[in-house]
């Protein structure tokens, strides 16, 4: 079995929503923790889990960048500033 590149997100994962990717990642963790797979399969499964994790992190970062806080100036005008979520 050829090993996948863990730094590249496969097209099927890239199409997933955050929720779909997280659910797939949880299934992988359960399978690995349950010892249901061979060593070779574990390596491939772990690689896919790494790709899913990176995809989830990218989705969260994109959502974070879209979140803004609305502030009202003393003159009553409204402005939107990036939210400090750290």
Do the domain assignments include residue 59? Answer: yes
Which residue segment(s) compose the domain that 32 sits in? Answer: 11-82
Residue whose token pair is 């979140």:
67
Total-model pTM: 0.72
Residue 21's contacts (CB-CB under 8 Å, 6 or more residues apart) are 13, 52, 55, 56, 59
- pLDDT score recorded for residue 9: 93
The answer to whether residue 74 sits within a structural domain is yes
pLDDT at position 30: 94
Predicted confidence at residue 57, as pLDDT, reads 96
CA 49 – CA 33 distance, rounded (Å):
13
pLDDT in the model for residue 1: 44
Number of domain units in the chain: 1
**Which residues in the chain land under pLDDT 50?**
1
Does any domain span residue 1? Answer: no
What distance lies between CA 36 and its chain's CA centroid? 24
- Do the domain assignments include residue 54? yes
């Amino acid at each position: 079995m050829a090993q996948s590149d863990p730094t590249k997100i496969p097209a099927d994962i890239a199409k997933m929503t955050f929720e779909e990717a997280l659910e797939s990642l949880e299934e992988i963790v359960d399978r690995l923790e349950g010892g249901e797979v061979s060593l070779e399969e574990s390596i491939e499964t772990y690689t896919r889990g790494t790709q899913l994790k990176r995809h989830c992190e990218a989705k969260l970062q994109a959502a974070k960048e879209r979140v803004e806080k609305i502030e009202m100036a003393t003159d009553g005008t409204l402005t939107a500033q990036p939210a400090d979520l750290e």
